[in-house]
Amino acid sequence: MSEAKEGIRLETWLGVGVVISILLSTSVILLASSDKQTVYSAYVTEADGDYQHQQLSEMRASLDKYTIANTMSTPMLVNDWREPHRTTLVIVAPEKPFDMAEAEAIHDFVTQKGGKVILAADSSNAQRVADQFGVQFFEYPIMDMDQFYEVKHFKGVNSGTQAPQNQTNVWTVASVNQDVSQMDGLALNTGCTQENLNAHKTDDCRMPVLMRSPTAIQVLGPGTNEEMNVRRDVKVLATASDSAYQDVTGTADLTSNLNIKLGAGETGLIIRIDYPGIKAMDINPGSGDRLDEVEVTGSIVFVANDDAFADHLWDLPTAVATGKAQCQSDLVYADHTCWNSELSANSNWNGNGAYFAELIHDMSEQENDDLSSLIKLHPEKFYLVFDESRHVTSTLTSPFTEAMGAIVLLTSDAWLKWLIVLNLLALLSIAIMVVPEKENWRHVFDLTRFRERPDKLDPGTYQQRVRQALMEKVRIFHDLTKEEMVHKSPPEIQAMITDPRLIELAYSQNRIFAPEELRQLLQAIRRWGK
């Protein structure tokens, strides 16, 4: 008795310990994230105060011609998606670093599946992914003495007046698909018109893009696991001015030896890397509606700033409401250049959404001549997936989100996956040894439900029940499902039965069997198949 009580006490204490551990873990997670709010989310539409201006809701709303989706657990799942070559993954402001498995999955998505990725960050949280493509994110914000823009106070007693100069408010003029160092002078000075955008003819023009506290990015060479001769096209789409420098000290002091300039053309802001010649299955013009092998291009765009996609810079009305001004504004200081100095015409800024919407279109396969018009003329057949897994979530959903990511990680790593499989096999082996073997139900046949006395039933009903018993035993003996049995033809079933008396029972429409005959047939059914 005492041993039993001791066992009960031990099990009880173990259970209590597990419950306490779960509660403590959950409490720590809740406390750690209790004072945090989600920013740069495509799905936050009614945040308090300025938090709404830091969301991506305007981006999602303006691009709703595409099929919009999101991933909440981890981007490791990208290679399991349908039509990866028609899918653009948008990762803005990763607040949690990527692990190596996630970074490699994104690289495979681009270079092997032909997927598209936009990764915007101003911190080292994106570096593991960038390493896969040979790109360096610098850790500190840049300040640009030439290319900065003015902002008005948009609320409070100073609303409508000039805010102090802030050289971290950087503007640039970006190309959609050309390296700015290789564009001729005419193209560099030409602003994209609305006609260019409508026709998607933007090879020889540029567009203004505004950023807030960007860092700098550079291409150092091939990615971590890429060969030196890997086939890829690297294009620097936008840079800061030659006077830009990294504010390492946070003092905005250019005289400091730590606050250094990276050099002319080296302060990249938007970099695009294309991987052409990837084989994918899709509909091409010569195959009707059948799938065929087509050539696609995998693309990844690195943006040195997350605010470039936020509501206050994406949407022009929101930008105006939050104090952003055009070059023609009286509030623009005369001691530095504005983006109209780079463009001879069509220099108005229409919100960053105008540029990035065209960039997403150009990256997609909508201009791929190898694809059928059945695909290209339907934007809903192209997918825009927002990665919400990198953001701080609510206190209630955070534990579940982390758990989902952990599960995917465990099942995606090759070694961990095999370890889990081996453990499951071991548990299965133990279960087989411990659990007593049960008789296979599919080969057990019982006629007890057909043993009613014939005088208590209508003769036709009794005959029908005996016929059903026969057909059921034939089905079970031949290991057929009910659906498979229904699709068998009469000759096939007769070949299974073989006994002439039982065949007559099964298929005779006019013969009425006497009760005694049916009793004999029941005995024959019992003996059949043995």
pLDDT single digits (tens) 445-456: 455 444 545 455
**Residues paired with 92 in a beta bridge:** 120
Residues whose CB falls within 8 Å of the CB of residue 17, separated by 6 or more in sequence, listed in order: none
Statement: residue 161 has pLDDT above 90: no
Statement: residue 466 has pLDDT above 50: yes
Is residue 503 included in any domain, yes or no? yes
Q: Does residue 365 sit in the same domain as residue 229?
A: yes
Domain edge (last residue) among 392, 409, 429: 392
Is residue 398 included in any domain, yes or no? no
Q: Does residue 203 sit in the same domain as residue 322?
A: yes
* Among the ranges given (42-56, 176-190, 209-223), the one the predictor scored with the smallest mean pLDDT: 42-56
Please provide the average confidence, as pLDDT, over all residues in the chain: 83
Q: Predicted confidence band at 424 (pLDDT cuts at 50, 70, 90)?
A: low
Q: Does residue 188 sit in the same domain as residue 69?
A: yes
What is the domain range of residue 8? 1-35
Q: Does residue 140 sit in the same domain as residue 204?
A: yes
Bigger pLDDT: 118 or 436? 118
360 φ, ψ (degrees, to nearest 5): -65, -40
Residues whose CB falls within 8 Å of the CB of residue 472, separated by 6 or more in sequence, listed in order: 445
Q: Does residue 192 sit in the same domain as residue 335?
A: yes
pLDDT single digits (tens) 70-82: 988 777 777 778 8
Is residue 502 included in any domain, yes or no? yes
Of 174, 240, 163, which Cα lies nearest the Cα of 207?
Answer: 174
pLDDT for position 482: 85
pLDDT for position 17: 62
Q: Does residue 22 sit in the same domain as residue 40?
A: no
Statement: residue 53 has pLDDT above 50: yes
Q: Predicted confidence band at 24 (pLDDT cuts at 50, 70, 90)?
A: low
pLDDT for position 339: 94
Is residue 121 included in any domain, yes or no? yes
Q: Does residue 270 sit in the same domain as residue 363?
A: yes
Q: Predicted confidence band at 490 (pLDDT cuts at 50, 70, 90)?
A: confident
CB distance 198 to 188 below 8 Å = no
pLDDT single digits (tens) 289-340: 788 999 999 999 999 999 999 999 999 999 999 999 888 887 776 677 899 9
Alpha helices in 99-189 (DSSP H): 100-111, 127-132, 185-189
What end-to-end distance do the CA atoms of the chain give, in Å? 53
SS3 (DSSP) at 206: strand
For residue 240, give both structure tokens. Answer: 């800061």
Statement: residue 408 has pLDDT above 70: no
Statement: residue 398 has pLDDT above 60: no
| Number of domains within the chain | 3
Q: Does residue 3 sit in the same domain as residue 55?
A: no
Is residue 428 included in any domain, yes or no? no
Is residue 87 included in any domain, yes or no? yes
Statement: residue 236 has pLDDT above 70: yes
